[in-house]
């Protein structure tokens, strides 16, 4: 028992450090709405500032310097990064904090390449608590500091104007700004306070840990767990949660064996706390932003076979033309790019941000390496396949939290899970070693061809390129197929997707399964590129964040973004090429992190999106300029050759080779200059790009045999510029030729009537806590009829639709043709014939109108989950979809995105999408909202045709009572969640109850509500016109 109490109290010291960092997280979140993953880097900065200051100043002064220094950094982050991103989505701001975390880690890692030992500066004497229980005074002091700070923060934010202003901003930033508070100033102040707390925590942590960069930065995980336990609101709750975590981890040292399968179990404690809050208790962190949680834009997935073949062939050819270092950089690019593809699927296609993909790759490496080595001794190709298959269940386990949470919340839990996988599996010697040495990986071979990377790097790189091309083509197929559209629908709006019959659960699980397979494939490549399983160097924890940053930098919504991520990886092609001119050793990761910060501010969709969008916008003159730039690059190369490649004594074959290079470069200059003046420029551009690549290859080859001067790097630079310029012209030309296919619509003279079904509600009640939103509702919607539902705001109209479609729990009975569907999921209700529209449209903005309709029309098939990877198909549009296109006049806008259409047309698209699957019952939620008089009249006729010509049962919710009266066969009126009247339009218009609660008494005493509404609308239009005239004359409107 004494040991239990001793370790419990000792753990509170570590918990106190967690509490300081967590309190800073809460302040930043409440002040700016940002979940600050860079808080760990701020703590690391505090430790570094303290260490340097303590060399020259007393302890107290050093602590003050560390605290103030981090406060300044926090304020600068808000001023320079988060301030400009105020209108960005929570996801973009999260990526920015991950990049800032990497910037801090890499900066201090350069300063302190080796860990700095801790220096004890707090009181080291122990206090005897009796019974042989001793606790260091330093732990008690830390506990007192944290408790005092939490009480002080509670009092300060409860009692001061600044504290009240922060609370106001946290509740509603726009209302707070309207009251005269500056959200930017509030945010900057809280970032400074949050940074100060992190700096204080880092300084105090120095006495326990010293300076260990990765350890300091990952303190953000238990700090996040503590903040979640406190709800990101309660300062005392955060402290209590942090102390509990510290105590639990300390007790784990006492009771859990750290040498067996439970090694690293301490790291699982924060993860379990996060799971408890986010999944078990169902309390996701509320996020606020002026922008919706937008995800990066998407590519089309279209494949140009000749371009893929040419790029693949050129890459493979370069492996034999260039040196060994080039082959190794290609190897790095292939496995990094394959893992980046997994993020394109997860984040780009499905909208699920995972920070555990590199850990999943590690599991793939472990399975494949062990299967090939000592478990079954499988051949290389089979061990890779089986390793991928065994890793997919790991991905499905990771997908479980995604069934309840997404976005920033999912990022938190997956990062914690990545640390658990690393601690308990990837760095556990029981799984990764044979005895006391790393497990040996057998030399890989395919069909008898030796692929050993250390002896034949060009062969292994070729193998990696082939696998990357295959994986990329499969993901392109997925993007263009039915499942790709379902993923994008789920990423856009899960409720809208479910209302169309898409199983959100299946789509998410499938996305994680495919992404895990890709990550495992990349991990298997890493395993076979080494001779031993060494996970500390190949699968470090921070690589989980690094892969996300490079993917975002490349463009996580585009397949080309994975190529860019692989090329830009540490040790990849880009670093190799840049290294020919500038030595970037050990600085590449820092450079990339800084670029990510810039990109999420100015180019949030990544480099691939920039290329795709801006190439299409280039003018012909720009293409000519690009060819002129390419010619200039080749001229630079020629000058460099002339001045440095003709040393005395160069003769014979070497001289001939240099002369050949000169001739080729001169030819490239001539072609580029002439091509810049021609109308058709693709052939000169291809030649120029090839000449540039050939120049790079020749330079590398000559550099191995000829002693060249230092400025030979200018030759490489010039050739790279030429190749890039030519390639941009080629890509631009292709982009201009890429036009959407023409869809042929066979318009039938008559619409095929849907299967008639009757919707019945019997005693349906919906309550949210103690608030009853719908009470004992009874309603029948019959085929071929339009049933109206009217009532004041808050009457329960939309709640009724939510209950019918399964998005809220309801008591009572909901039946379709007598079949009880009350317990059906929203997906199943859609598939049995119930469709709906939404007040806010909820169109899938990343799809064209055509793909919106296709998604609704083919939402139920399961076969594409397998076939889309190999042979994606876009089935013919259903008869209902074609009829909807014709009915709503959408043929001319099928290839437009909803955001590009006028509002009235967007309304029509939303209804057409609901009709695309041919439902028997359609629920229209305020379809006329925001429409002008002409559009409303057109909508009236369309709604009547749905009942008369299509035979649908239509439930119409609308505040335009005139439209309801003219369109509906029967009307039900609601008030305070209860049905107050039901009958024909004339009966409802004369109902005293309805008049008193909703319609109001007409001026002329006549019950003809439809005519009165028309007159009111006409009068409003006239008054609006008069107002415009008055404004033009007076020029000032009060």
In this structure, what CATH number is given to the domain that contains residue 809? 3.40.50.300
Q: Which of 617, 635, 656 is the last residue of a domain?
A: 617
What pLDDT shows up at residue 233? 85
Q: Identify the residue with better confidence: 735 or 24.
A: 24
Among the listed residues 887, 971, 949, 955, the one whose alpha carbon sits nearest the alpha carbon of residue 921: 955
pLDDT surpassing 60 at residue 998: yes
449-450 and 819-820 strand pairing: unpaired
Residue 270 has a pLDDT of 85
What average pLDDT does range 417-433 have in this prediction? 84
Specify whether 568 is located in the same domain as 630.
no
Instruction: Decide if 913 is inside a domain.
Output: yes
Higher pLDDT, 46 or 289: 46
Dist. CA 674–CA 47, nearest whole Å = 61
**pLDDT computed for residue 651 by the predictor:** 43
Are residue 397 and residue 506 in the same domain, yes or no?
yes
Domain membership flag for residue 278 = no
Rg (CA), the chain: 33
Q: Which residue has the higher pLDDT, 727 or 361?
A: 361
Are 246 and 337 members of one domain?
Answer: no
Residue 766 φ then ψ, to 5°: -130, 130
Same domain? 951 vs 803: yes
Average pLDDT over residues 255-267: 76
Give the residue-averaged pLDDT of 963-984.
92
Within this chain, do residues 935 and 801 fall inside the same structural domain, yes or no?
yes
Q: Are residue 199 and residue 56 in the same domain, yes or no?
A: yes
| Per-residue tokens: 736 | 């201009």
Contact of 288 with 33, CB cutoff 8 Å: yes
For the chain, what is the mean pLDDT?
A: 83
Distances (CA, A) of 494 to 7, 92, 352: 46, 20, 12
Q: How far is Cα 49 from Cα 473, in angstroms, rounded to an integer?
A: 50
Q: What is the pLDDT of residue 597?
A: 92
Q: Choose the final residue of a domain: 217, 240, 255.
A: 255
Q: Is the pLDDT of residue 269 over 90?
A: no
726 with 794, same domain: the answer is no
What span, in angstroms and rounded, lies between the C-alpha atoms of 227 and 744?
56
User: What is the DSSP secondary-structure string of 969-1014?
Assistant: SEEEEEETTEEEEEE-HHHHHT-HHHIIIII---TT----HHHHHH
Residue 323 clears pLDDT 80, i.e. is over it: yes
Of 873, 870, 380, 296, the C-alpha closest to 562 is 296
> Considering the domain boundaries, does residue 813 fall inside one?
yes
- Counting the structural domains of the chain, the total is 4
Least confident window among 39-43, 275-279, 494-498, 879-883: 275-279
pLDDT at 709: 52
pLDDT of residue 781: 94
Contact 776, 812 (CB under 8 A): yes
Lowest mean pLDDT across 248-257, 425-434, 528-537, 652-661: 652-661
Please state, in angstroms and rounded to a whole number, the distance separating the CA atoms of residues 390 and 406: 25
Lowest-confidence region among 57-61, 367-371, 658-662, 883-887: 658-662
**Is 1038 within a domain?**
no
Long-range contacts of 1015-1024 (CB under 8 A, 24+ apart): 1017/933, 1017/962, 1021/933
Q: What is the pLDDT of residue 633?
A: 79
Q: Is 145 a domain residue?
A: no
Q: What does the pLDDT look like over 818-851, one tens digit per residue?
A: 899 999 999 999 999 999 998 888 899 889 999 9
Q: pLDDT category, 1015, cuts 50, 70, 90?
A: very low
Alpha carbon distance 520, 367 (integer Å)? 9
Residue 874 class from Cβ within 10 Å (0-12 exposed, 13-18 middle, 19+ buried)? middle
Based on the fold, state whether residues 224 and 318 are members of the same structural domain. Answer: no
- The pLDDT-based confidence of 744 (bands split at 50, 70, 90) is low
Domain boundary among 195, 230, 255: 255
In a domain, 143, yes or no: no
In this prediction, residue 119 has a pLDDT band, given cuts at 50, 70 and 90, of: confident
**211, β-bridge pairs:** 116
Alpha carbons 628 and 625: distance in angstroms, whole number = 5
pLDDT for 665 beyond 60 = yes
| CATH number of 653's domain | 1.20.120
Residue 180, both tokens:
């005269």
Angle at CA 95, nearest 5°, toward 91 and 97? 115
- How far from chain centre, in Å, is Cα 21? 26
Query: What average pLDDT does the segment 310-339 reach?
Result: 88
pLDDT at position 721, please?
82
Predicted confidence at residue 286, as pLDDT, reads: 53
At 652 the pLDDT is 45
Residue 700 has pLDDT above 50, yes or no: yes
Residues 627 and 593 in one domain: no
More confident residue, 193 or 731: 193
Q: Find, among 48, 160, 153, 55, the residue nearest to 105 by Cα.
A: 48
Residue-level pLDDT at 207: 85
Distance CA 980, CA 959 (A): 17
Same domain, 724 and 812: no
Q: What is the largest CA-CA distance in the chain?
A: 111
Residue whose entry in the numeric block shows the structure tokens 């940002």: 34
How much of the chain, in percent, has pLDDT values that exceed 70?
A: 86
288 or 779: which leads in pLDDT: 779
pLDDT tens digit sequence for 588-597: 999 999 999 9
**Average pLDDT of span 307-332:** 85
Q: Is the pLDDT of residue 1025 over 50?
A: no
Q: How far apart are the first and last CA of the chain?
A: 77
CB 395 within 8 A of CB 360: yes
Segment 441-473, tens digit of pLDDT: 888 988 888 899 988 999 999 999 999 999 999
CA–CA gap between residue 534 and residue 537 (Å, rounded): 6
User: What is the DSSP code (8-state) at residue 204?
Assistant: H
CA atoms within 13 A on the CB side of 26: 30
Q: What share of the chain is helix, strand, coil (3-state, %, to 5)?
A: 65, 5, 30
Q: Is residue 980 part of a domain?
A: yes
Residues 966 and 901 in one domain: yes
- Its pTM stands at 0.83
Owning domain of residue 10: 2-128+179-255
Give per-residue burial for 999-1032: e unless 16+ CB within 10 Å, then b: beeeeeeebbbbebbbeeeeeeeeeeeeeeeeee
- Tokens 């309304």 correspond to 907
1013 confidence band (pLDDT: 50, 70, 90): very low
* In a shared domain, residues 580 and 687: no
In a domain, 266, yes or no: no
pLDDT at 290: 41
Q: How confident is the model at residue 196 (pLDDT cuts 50, 70, 90)?
A: very high
758: confidence class by pLDDT, cuts 50, 70, 90? very high
């Amino acid at each position: 028992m004494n040991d239990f109490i001793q370790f419990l109290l000792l753990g509170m010291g570590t918990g106190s450090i967690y509490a300081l960092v967590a309190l800073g997280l809460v302040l930043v979140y409440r002040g700016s709405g940002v979940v600050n993953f860079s808080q760990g880097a701020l703590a690391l900065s505090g430790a570094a500032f303290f260490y340097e200051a303590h060399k020259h100043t007393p302890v107290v002064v050093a602590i003050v310097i560390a605290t103030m220094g981090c406060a300044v950094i926090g304020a600068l982050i808000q001023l320079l990064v988060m301030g400009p991103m105020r209108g960005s989505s929570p996801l973009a701001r999260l990526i920015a904090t991950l990049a800032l975390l990497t910037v801090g880690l890499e900066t201090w890692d350069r300063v302190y390449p080796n860990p700095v030992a801790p220096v004890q500066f707090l009181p080291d004497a122990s206090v005897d608590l009796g019974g042989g229980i001793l606790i260091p005074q330093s732990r008690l002091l830390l506990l007192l500091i944290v408790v005092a700070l939490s009480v002080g923060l509670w009092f300060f934010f409860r009692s001061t104007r600044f504290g009240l202003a922060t609370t106001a901003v946290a509740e509603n930033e726009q209302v707070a700004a309207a009251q005269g508070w500056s959200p930017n100033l509030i945010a900057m102040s809280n970032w400074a306070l949050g940074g100060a707390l992190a700096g204080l925590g880092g300084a105090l942590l120095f006495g326990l840990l010293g300076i260990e960069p990765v350890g300091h930065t990952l303190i953000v995980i238990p700090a996040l767990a503590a903040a979640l336990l406190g709800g990101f609101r309660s300062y005392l709750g955060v402290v209590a949660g942090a102390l509990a975590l510290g105590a639990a981890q300390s007790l784990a040292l006492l009771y859990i064996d750290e040498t067996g399968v439970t090694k690293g179990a301490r790291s699982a404690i924060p993860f379990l706390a996060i799971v408890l809050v986010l999944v078990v208790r169902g309390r996701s962190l509320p996020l606020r932003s002026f922008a919706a949680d937008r995800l990066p834009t998407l590519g089309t997935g279209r494949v140009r076979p000749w371009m893929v073949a040419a790029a693949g062939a050129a890459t493979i050819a370069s492996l034999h033309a260039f040196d060994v270092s080039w082959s190794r950089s290609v190897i790095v690019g292939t496995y990094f790019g394959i893992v980046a593809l997994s993020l394109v699927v997860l984040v780009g296609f499905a909208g699920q941000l995972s920070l555990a993909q590199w850990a999943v790759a590690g599991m793939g490496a472990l399975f494949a390496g062990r299967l090939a080595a000592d478990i079954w001794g499988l051949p290389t190709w089979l061990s890779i396949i089986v390793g991928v298959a065994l890793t997919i269940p790991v991905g499905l386990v990771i997908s479980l939290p995604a069934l309840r949470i997404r976005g920033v919340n999912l990022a938190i839990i997956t990062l914690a899970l990545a640390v658990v996988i690393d601690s308990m599996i990837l760095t556990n010697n029981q799984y990764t070693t044979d005895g006391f040495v790393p497990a040996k990986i057998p030399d890989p071979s395919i069909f008898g061809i030796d692929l050993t990377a250390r002896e034949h790097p060009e062969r292994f790189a070729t193998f990696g390129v082939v696998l990357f091309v295959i994986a990329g083509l499969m993901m392109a197929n997925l993007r263009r197929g039915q499942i790709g559209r379902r993923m994008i629908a789920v990423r856009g709006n899960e409720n809208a997707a479910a209302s169309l019959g898409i199983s959100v659960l299946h789509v998410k699980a499938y996305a994680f399964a495919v992404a895990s397979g890709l990550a495992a494939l990349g991990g298997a490549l890493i395993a076979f590129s080494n001779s031993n399983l060494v996970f500390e160097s190949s699968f470090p924890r921070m690589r989980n964040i690094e892969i996300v940053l490079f993917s975002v930098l490349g463009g996580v919504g585009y397949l080309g973004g994975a190529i860019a991520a692989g090329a830009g990886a540490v040790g990849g092609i880009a670093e190799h090429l840049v290294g020919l001119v500038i030595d970037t050793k050990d600085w590449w990761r820092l450079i990339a992190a800084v670029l990510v910060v810039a990109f999420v501010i100015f180019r949030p969709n990544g480099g691939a999106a920039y290329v795709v969008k801006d190439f299409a916008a280039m003018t012909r003159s720009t293409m000519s300029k690009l060819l002129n730039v390419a010619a200039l690059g080749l001229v630079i190369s020629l000058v460099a050759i002339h001045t440095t490649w003709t040393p005395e004594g160069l003769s014979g074959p070497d001289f001939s080779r240099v002369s050949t290079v000169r001739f080729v470069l001169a030819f490239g200059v001539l072609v580029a200059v002439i091509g810049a003046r021609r109308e058709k420029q693709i052939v000169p551009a291809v030649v120029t790009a090839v000449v540039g690549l050939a120049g790079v290859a020749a330079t590398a080859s000559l550099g191995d045999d000829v002693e060249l001067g230092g400025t030979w790097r200018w030759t490489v630079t010039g050739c790279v510029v030429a190749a890039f310029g030519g390639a941009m012209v080629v890509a631009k030309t292709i982009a201009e030729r890429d036009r959407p296919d023409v869809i042929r619509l066979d318009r039938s003279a008559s619409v095929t009537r849907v299967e008639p079904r009757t919707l019945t509600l019997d005693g349906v009640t919906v309550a949210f806590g103690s608030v009853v939103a719908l009470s004992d509702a009874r309603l029948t919607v019959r085929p071929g009829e339009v049933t109206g539902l009217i009532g004041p705001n808050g009457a329960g109209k939309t709640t009724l639709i939510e209950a019918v479609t399964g998005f809220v729990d309801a008591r009572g009975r909901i039946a379709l043709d007598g079949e009880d569907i009350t317990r059906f999921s929203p997906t199943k209700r859609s598939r049995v014939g119930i469709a709906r529209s939404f007040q806010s449209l909820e169109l899938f903005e990343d799809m064209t109108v055509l793909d919106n309709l296709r998604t609704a029309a083919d939402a139920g098939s399961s076969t594409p989950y397998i076939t889309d990877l190999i042979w994606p198909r876009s089935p013919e549009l259903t008869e209902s979809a074609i009829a909807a296109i014709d009915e709503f006049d959408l043929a001319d806008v099928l290839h437009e995105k909803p955001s590009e259409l006028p509002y009235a047309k967007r309304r029509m698209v939303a209804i057409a999408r609901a009709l695309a699957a041919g439902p028997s019952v359609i629920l229209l939620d305020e379809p006329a909202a925001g429409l002008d008089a002409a559009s409303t009249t057109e909508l009236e006729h369309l709604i009547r045709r749905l009942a008369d010509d299509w035979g649908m049962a239509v439930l119409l919710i609308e505040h335009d009572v005139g439209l309801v009266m003219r369109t509906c066969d029967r009307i039900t009126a609601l008030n305070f969640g209860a049905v107050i009247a039901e009958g024909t339009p004339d009966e409802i218009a004369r109902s005293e109850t309805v008049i008193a609660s909703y319609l109001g008494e007409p001026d002329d005493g006549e019950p003809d509500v439809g005519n009165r509404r028309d007159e009111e609308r006409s009068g409003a239009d006239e008054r609006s016109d008069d107002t415009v005239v008055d404004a033009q004359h007076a020029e000032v409107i009060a």
